[in-house]
Amino acid sequence: DIQMTQSPSSLSASVGDRVTITCRASQSISSYLNWYQQKPGKAPKLLIYAASSLQSGVPSRFSGSGSGTDFTLTISSLQPEDFATYYCQQSYSTLGTFGQGTKLEIK
């Protein structure tokens, strides 16, 4: 199984801040890395696919980068609606494992 490790597990930030979340795979997954946002009581929502492609309708303040084993999700200027939990997920294998999540909280 491919293991995905996210950091940090939680993060406090203010509106307008730039934040970065990292995700590391236990083996190379090329660019088969996706990012999801989940708000309380809701299903996850796809933000970024193939490491750096923005899903339709997602604001451009979200961006992704990386390949191989190391990836990042960056939010350039936090908005109130961005406070949520973020998950990376590898889709290199059919059983696409998730990172443990990063909870982004208001400072």
Residue 14 CB, shortest distance to another protein, in Å, is 24
Q: Toward another protein, which CB reaches closer, 18 or 47? A: 47
Q: Is 34 in the site for another protein (CB under 8 A)?
A: yes
The beta strands (E) that lie in 1-107 are given as 4-7, 10-13, 19-25, 33-38, 45-49, 53-54, 62-67, 70-75, 85-90, 102-106
Closest CB 25 distance from another protein, rounded Å: 14
> DSSP letter at 98?
B
**Quick check: 91 binds another protein (CB under 8 A)?**
yes
Q: Which stretch binds another protein (CB under 8 A): 15-23, 30-38, 60-68, 70-78?
A: 30-38
Binders of another protein: how many residues, by CB under 8 A? 26
If DSSP codes are grouped into helix, strand and coil, which group holds residue 82? Answer: helix
Is the N-terminal amide bond of 8 cis, ω within 30° of 0? yes
